[in-house]
């Protein structure tokens, strides 16, 4: 079976023969030999930061979504492979070098909606078509940091405020709610160090 065609990731450019009519955002910085399959992953990239996405060299990106709020910033190191993952970034998500992120993985640095019922109702009204987004309640965001040489398995979820230490392995389906020590392996929901 033939895989997707990959093209150089170039700020502000259009990908040849892309199936979506969209340009790559201009406010990204990309290292050498970094490739992507489609601009589809930027349909919810709203970062207004001077550099909202910084990606190192020799990174491969397939069907990965980069969804940011206006102040969101995503940083990815060198020699990473991202396949069908989703970055939901309100503040900052940092990924080191030599990191593998499998299909179905979600990284979310915020809940993106209040958890308390009355605040959630106010938020729902503010983001409705007739609402005013400036009246949204404050929603907590805490950065995610993934250090070098980490492997994140299929359908794992990394939640706000988590730091994953260098060389750690996140098993498929794990829901990571707290820091993972370097060199350890975690599994389960919530994720715990595997015995």
69: closest CA among 93, 92, 43, 47? 47
All structural domains of the chain with their residue ranges: 7-112+140-193
CA distance 133 to 99: 35
**pLDDT tens sequence for the chain (195 residues):** 566 789 999 999 999 889 999 999 999 999 999 999 999 999 999 999 999 999 999 999 999 999 999 999 999 999 999 999 999 999 999 999 999 999 999 999 998 888 889 888 888 998 889 888 788 878 889 999 999 999 999 999 999 999 999 999 999 999 999 999 999 999 999 999 986
CA distances in angstroms from 34 to 10, 24, 52, 76, listed in the order given:
9, 13, 17, 11
Contacting residues for 22 by C-beta, under 8 A, at least 6 apart: 14, 39, 40, 42, 43
Beta-carbon count within 10 A of 96 CB: 20
Alpha helices in the chain (DSSP H): 117-127
Global pTM reads 0.91
Catalytic residue among 33, 44, 113, 135: 113
Question: What is the CATH T-level fold of the domain 7-112+140-193, as seen in this structure?
Answer: UDP N-Acetylglucosamine Acyltransferase; domain 1 (2.160.10)
Q: Is-catalytic flag, 113? A: yes
The encoded tokens of residue 164 equal 């994953």
């Amino acid at each position: 079976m033939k895989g997707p065609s990959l093209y150089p990731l170039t700020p502000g450019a259009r990908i040849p023969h892309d199936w979506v009519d969209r340009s790559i955002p201009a406010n990204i910085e990309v290292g050498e030999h970094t490739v992507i399959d489609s601009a589809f992953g930027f349909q919810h990239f709203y970062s207004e930061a001077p550099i909202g996405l910084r990606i190192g060299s020799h990174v491969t990106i397939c069907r990965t979504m980069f969804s940011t709020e206006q102040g969101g910033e995503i940083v990815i190191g060198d020699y990473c492979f991202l396949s069908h993952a989703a970055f939901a970034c309100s503040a900052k998500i940092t990924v080191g070098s030599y990191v593998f992120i499998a299909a179905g993985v979600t990284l979310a640095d915020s809940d993106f909606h209040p958890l308390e019922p009355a605040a959630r109702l106010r938020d729902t009204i503010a983001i409705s078509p007739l609402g005013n987004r400036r009246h949204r309640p404050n929603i907590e965001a805490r950065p995610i940091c993934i250090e070098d040489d980490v492997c994140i398995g299929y359908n794992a979820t990394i939640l706000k405020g988590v730091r994953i230490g260098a060389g750690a392995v996140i098993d498929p389906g794990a829901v990571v709610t707290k820091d993972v020590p370097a060199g350890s392996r975690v599994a389960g929901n919530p994720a715990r160090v595997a015995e």
